[in-house]
Chains A and B, each alone.
Chain A
Amino acid sequence: MQVNFKGVTADYQIGPIRSRNILHHVNLCLPSKSFTAIVGHTGAGKSSLLKTVNGLLLPKEGKIQVGDQTITPELQSKVVLKHVRQSVGMVFQFPESQLFAETVEQDICFGPMNFGVSKEEAKKSAKDAILNVGLEEAVLSASPFSLSGGQQRRVAIAGVLVMNPDVLVLDEPGAGLDPQGKEEILTLIKYLHESKGITTILVTHDMDDVARYADDVVVMEKGKVVTYKPVHTFFNDVVQLHAWSLDLPEARRLQLRLEEEANVKLPKVCLTIDDLVAALIEVGLA
């Protein structure tokens, strides 16, 4: 499902205080079945952009098209919102803080049942979802609060995946997990993206994640989209990255260092260690 932002401007109104233009005239078209990473500094508007995708934050100007549904500033229709929210799965930062039910099963069924799926069917999909996120079926009858942090995160993600979203939006799904847990979760997301063709939008601070999982990168700065490029071209322009004070992935850093020391130029931009090893073998350095 395609997600298309057309001149989206948005701000928050908190009591009498209005924060100006959290999003400023964002034009962005994310094609169907793409995997896009959104990077940028804190306060650049990444999370707000995510919230506009399913109408939690309505734009002040412009519109957002999600598949054949359109979110506009004057949108009041609960039907459209419900459709959009059903097709857009949203994994917030620290999603485990949304767990509430007595058992994991009830918590996972909460979403689908809100969208009118019958109890039996919801339970069936809950079973699939829990296996999908790499937990055992036995977990379903446990209390979500008895699980470890990593398991809770998986349960929360299962609670979103169970709705079979066409678009999956994730805000730092790996934050606060150990490296292994983080890798497992992101690999899982990548797998789901590939096997089910889910359009995936990932907000992250970690350039290694961008390099490893995403196809395209969006850089946001002060509420604006400043670039939208495929990952390889993006990490090629070292000078520009430096100007945005964004890091390089580890492998790319090592590659640049090697090129400088050995005074060679590797044939391509290497984003993962495997790429780098292959390239080094190719030029006969390893």
Chain B
Amino acid sequence: MNKLILGRYFPGDSWLHKLDPRAKLVAAIGFIAILFVAINWQGYLLLILFTLFVMRLSGISLKMYIRGVRPLIWLILFTVSLQILFTAGGTVYVDWGPITISQYGLINGVFIFCRFVMIIFISTVVTLTTKPIDLTDGINALLSPLRLFKVPVDDISLMLTIALRFIPNLLDETQKVMDAQRARGTTFGEGSLVEQMKKLVPIIMPLFVSSLKRAEDMADVMEVRGYQSSKPRSSFRKLAWKRKDTLAIVTMLALTTTLVLLRQFGTYYMY
């Protein structure tokens, strides 16, 4: 229950912690986008160094980040092996009909692996250094242009806030229900996969019931206190754009430019 690092906030006062959530979000999304600009080892090296630098800046130990990757490692390895086995080109090392291990396949595999890990690291940096409430404020601010197209931005960010707010409660409740069922003789982590999945029903069902009930109560309380989604809302916390936020965005732009240049003049590997 406590192993999930992705999506968790880690209190601190590093440079990154103090960055405006809007800047962090834009930078992170930008970074993930330019991962796809890099096509050669020079580009990847630059990106990896940058990622390590940002992780260092967050003041959180590398161990935490590696724990964040661990739950996704099988997905990553699966994708990487597909890349390796089904990409042709360059020197062929193994050839079994449609399945080949080739030079290009191996290179692609390595690149995709790096890409995955960097996406996870960078998004972990954002969630580890940003309070959930700031994160939703940031998302709200970034989505606000969509209001022009009648997208219910405030509703979306309220939903996000509520969802994030109740994660700890849900974890508590899961623990309680698990204890109760264990006291009634269930043992977890035993038996075949199907058996283990069946054992989850006595946990999931009560959680569903209580979540739905809580949602209903919450909606009632909000209505009683006069909440109306159509009305314009002011905000208690104001986001302030500072010089360091501009600096972060400028750094991202510089990184992008460098990558584009490397794409032009560096060695050419991927296609």
Q: Could you tell me if A82 and B185 are in contact, using CB atoms closer than 8 angstroms?
A: yes
Q: How many A-B residue pairs have CB under 8 A?
A: 63
Q: Give CA–CA (A63, B96) in the complex, Å.
A: 61
- By a CB distance below 8 angstroms, the chain A residues around B187 are 78, 82
Q: Could you tell me if B184 and A159 are in contact, using CB atoms closer than 8 angstroms?
A: yes
Indicate whether B206 reaches chain A with its CB closer than 8 angstroms: yes
Complex: chain B residue closest to A78, CB-CB: B187
Complex: chain B residue closest to A156, CB-CB: B180
Considering only residues 186-228 of chain B, those with a C-beta below 8 Å from chain A are 186-187, 190, 201-206, 209-210
Q: Give CA–CA (A88, B183) in the complex, Å.
A: 8
Complex: chain B residue closest to A169, CB-CB: B183
Return the CB mask of A244-284 against B: 1 if under 8 Å, else 0.
00000000000000000000000000000000000000000
Q: Could you tell me if A92 and B185 are in contact, using CB atoms closer than 8 angstroms?
A: no
Complex: chain B residue closest to A89, CB-CB: B183
Q: Could you tell me if B179 and A85 are in contact, using CB atoms closer than 8 angstroms?
A: no
Return the CB mask of A85-114 against B: 1 if under 8 Å, else 0.
110111010010111110000000011001
Indicate whether B140 reaches chain A with its CB closer than 8 angstroms: no
- By a CB distance below 8 angstroms, the chain A residues around B209 are 97, 99, 145
For the complex formed, measure the closest distance between the CB of A223 and the CB atoms of chain B, giving whole angstroms.
19
In the complex, which of the residues A85, A100, A111, A115 contacts B206, with contact meaning CB atoms closer than 8 Å?
Answer: A100
For the complex formed, measure the closest distance between the CB of B127 and the CB atoms of chain A, giving whole angstroms.
15
Indicate whether A193 reaches chain B with its CB closer than 8 angstroms: no
Q: Could you tell me if B185 and A115 are in contact, using CB atoms closer than 8 angstroms?
A: yes
Q: Could you tell me if A51 and B206 are in contact, using CB atoms closer than 8 angstroms?
A: no
Q: Give CA–CA (A119, B210) in the complex, Å.
A: 29
Size band of the interface chain A makes with B: 20 to 34
A97-B206, A98-B206, A100-B205 known; A160+B184 contact, CB < 8 A: yes
Indicate whether A163 reaches chain B with its CB closer than 8 angstroms: yes
Indicate whether A54 reaches chain B with its CB closer than 8 angstroms: yes
Indicate whether B56 reaches chain A with its CB closer than 8 angstroms: no
Q: Could you tell me if B180 and A95 are in contact, using CB atoms closer than 8 angstroms?
A: yes
For the complex formed, measure the closest distance between the CB of B6 and the CB atoms of chain A, giving whole angstroms.
14
Q: Could you tell me if A99 and B179 are in contact, using CB atoms closer than 8 angstroms?
A: no
Size band of the interface chain B makes with A: 20 to 34
Q: Could you tell me if B185 and A86 are in contact, using CB atoms closer than 8 angstroms?
A: yes
Indicate whether B182 reaches chain A with its CB closer than 8 angstroms: yes
B interface majority secondary structure = helix
Indicate whether B177 reaches chain A with its CB closer than 8 angstroms: yes
In the complex, which of the residues A15, A85, A145 contacts B183, with contact meaning CB atoms closer than 8 Å?
Answer: A85
In the complex, which of the residues B2, B186, B205 contacts A114, with contact meaning CB atoms closer than 8 Å?
Answer: B186
Indicate whether B176 reaches chain A with its CB closer than 8 angstroms: yes
- By a CB distance below 8 angstroms, the chain A residues around B203 are 100
Q: Could you tell me if A85 and B182 are in contact, using CB atoms closer than 8 angstroms?
A: yes
Q: Could you tell me if A92 and B179 are in contact, using CB atoms closer than 8 angstroms?
A: yes
A97-B176, A97-B177, A97-B210 known; A92+B183 contact, CB < 8 A: yes
Q: Could you tell me if B184 and A110 are in contact, using CB atoms closer than 8 angstroms?
A: yes
- By a CB distance below 8 angstroms, the chain A residues around B204 are 100
Considering only residues 91-147 of chain A, those with a C-beta below 8 Å from chain B are 92, 95, 97-101, 110-111, 114-115, 145
- By a CB distance below 8 angstroms, the chain B residues around A95 are 180
Q: Could you tell me if B180 and A114 are in contact, using CB atoms closer than 8 angstroms?
A: no
Q: Could you tell me if B184 and A56 are in contact, using CB atoms closer than 8 angstroms?
A: no
- By a CB distance below 8 angstroms, the chain A residues around B176 are 92, 97
Indicate whether B100 reaches chain A with its CB closer than 8 angstroms: no
- By a CB distance below 8 angstroms, the chain B residues around A51 are 179
Q: Give CA–CA (A110, B185) in the complex, Å.
A: 9
Complex: chain A residue closest to B5, CB-CB: A15
Complex: chain A residue closest to B175, CB-CB: A14
- By a CB distance below 8 angstroms, the chain A residues around B182 are 56, 85
For the complex formed, measure the closest distance between the CB of B161 and the CB atoms of chain A, giving whole angstroms.
23
A92-B176, A145-B209 known; A98+B2 contact, CB < 8 A: no
A15-B2, A56-B179, A92-B176 known; A100+B184 contact, CB < 8 A: no
Considering only residues 1-24 of chain B, those with a C-beta below 8 Å from chain A are 2
- By a CB distance below 8 angstroms, the chain B residues around A163 are 184-185
In the complex, which of the residues B2, B179, B183, B202 contacts A100, with contact meaning CB atoms closer than 8 Å?
Answer: B202
Complex: chain B residue closest to A114, CB-CB: B185
Q: Could you tell me if B177 and A98 are in contact, using CB atoms closer than 8 angstroms?
A: yes
Which of B180, B183, B201 counts the most A-chain CB atoms under 10 A from its CB?
B183
For the complex formed, measure the closest distance between the CB of B3 and the CB atoms of chain A, giving whole angstroms.
9
Q: Enumerate chain A interface residues (CB-CB to B < 8 A).
A: 14-15, 51, 54, 56, 78, 82, 85-86, 88-90, 92, 95, 97-101, 110-111, 114-115, 145, 159-160, 163
In addition to A14-B2, A100-B202, A160-B183, 4 A-B residue pairs with Cβ atoms within 8 Å of each other are A78-B190, A90-B183, A97-B176, A160-B184
29 A-B pairs with CB atoms under 8 Å apart are A15-B2, A56-B182, A56-B183, A78-B187, A78-B190, A85-B183, A85-B184, A90-B180, A90-B183, A92-B183, A97-B173, A97-B177, A97-B180, A97-B206, A98-B181, A98-B184, A98-B206, A99-B206, A99-B209, A100-B202, A100-B205, A101-B205, A110-B181, A110-B202, A114-B185, A145-B209, A159-B184, A160-B183, A163-B184
